[in-house]
Chain A
């Protein structure tokens, strides 16, 4: 979508600043990552997607 101006991190703390790390996620972008960290393997994650419990990044409209 090109460039989108947005405000900086507020408040601007000199000793403990915040930062911008990533742009806003696409729907379901981190589903597999988050569930994998909970201990689910790929087969379990795919099964949940088939059952409509979760959405995976590649399947999103």
Chain B
């Protein structure tokens, strides 16, 4: 089977250009969702713990974070401590400018921090993607 070659054009339009996504998820399931959105043009902002980052970074082969390199291409990294009250305020400010929220928290505080305010934001909401844990 032959595949037609196509030159890389960084200015080419993508179907999700202009869509903003805040990704609170960790490890694989949420990152696979946001990878699809990022590959098609969405601005995906990965919210990571400032000290350790997404634990997916620690999945290494020969000392290289190859899973991270593959699943987080096309995304941005925001190091934000959501355990601090000010960090949660900033998270909600950020989330109010996005159309999609992705999280895969287990039940408990982190889920309540983001899920309740999310439904009250004035901007159009595309969806809250909850990856079951």
Contacts and interface: CB of A to CB of B under 8 A. Distances in A.
Interface of A: 1, 4, 6-7, 9-10, 13, 16-31, 33-35, 38, 48, 51-56, 60
Interface residues of B, number: 40
16 contacts: A4-B69, A9-B39, A16-B15, A18-B40, A20-B73, A24-B69, A27-B48, A27-B50, A27-B53, A27-B77, A28-B50, A29-B77, A35-B78, A55-B79, A56-B79, A60-B79
A22 B73 contact: yes
B66 interface: yes
A35 B91 CA distance: 10
Given A4-B66, A6-B69, A27-B57, A33 B48 contact: no
Contact of A53 (B71, B73, B77, B81): B81
Contacts of A52: 50, 81, 84
B10 interface: yes
